[in-house]
Homo-oligomer: A and B are copies of this chain.
Amino acid sequence: MHTQVIVLNGGSSSGKSRIARSLQAVLPDAWLSLSVDTLVDAMPARLTTGGDGIGFAEDGGVDVGQEFMTLQDAWIAGLVAMARAGAHLVVDDVFLGGAASQRRWLDALGDVPTLWVGVHCDAAVAEDREAARGDRVSGMAAKQADVVHEGVAYDLEVDTTNTESMDCARAIAAHLGYLSERSAVEQTPTRGGRS
């Protein structure tokens, strides 16, 4: 059965959203890209400053309260329904709870064909990229780099430390059996040295 949902899990600044955008460019169907950031943006402002919602500490720590969790469960249920209604989804998320976070998705996804992708990035490199973006609380990248993968099971793992987002996307597309003409051309030896 064809994969309907691709879940990208990785720490902040690991490159998830760039891989998601790249997947949209290389995959033949129209995939929607939605992330936990979309959910946070949709929340009332008062739920994004800690408490029962989600809080971003000055040291890069992220705390999640009960109300955030409740809304997130409904959010996940909605995304799964979107997939069941026919939409292809690339979801990028940060499994702050590791295996427990994946469990919540698994319970909601049921038999929806899903590809689980771990997005790794060396903590020091992710920290550098966080500074280069200039729009993230410093410290998140390093704190999340490893913990989000604890106990999580993947179909495929990619690492952006030395590989471009687009090349990670091509690897995911190839794993799914898609190999666009463009990818085929670009994976000839003229590009081979880089990926």
Q: A residues bordering B, Cβ < 8 Å? A: 18-19, 21-22, 24-25, 30-34, 38-39, 42-47, 49, 53, 58, 67, 70-71, 73-75, 77-87, 122, 124-125, 128-129, 131-134, 138, 161-162, 164-167, 169, 186, 190-191, 194
Contact = CB atoms under 8 A, between A and B. Distances in A.
A162 B167 CA distance: 13
A33 B42 contact: yes
17 contacts: A24-B44, A24-B45, A25-B46, A33-B43, A49-B58, A71-B87, A75-B82, A80-B81, A124-B186, A128-B165, A128-B167, A129-B164, A129-B166, A132-B166, A132-B169, A161-B194, A162-B194
B85 A73 contact: yes
Nearest to A75: B82
Nearest to A39: B32
A45 B21 CA distance: 8
Contacts of A75: 32, 82, 87
A138 B165 CA distance: 16
Nearest to A58: B49
B82 A132 contact: no
A33 B71 CA distance: 12
Most chain B Cβ neighbours within 10 Å, of A19, A166, A190, A191: A166
A70 B31 CA distance: 12
Contacts of A71: 30, 32, 87
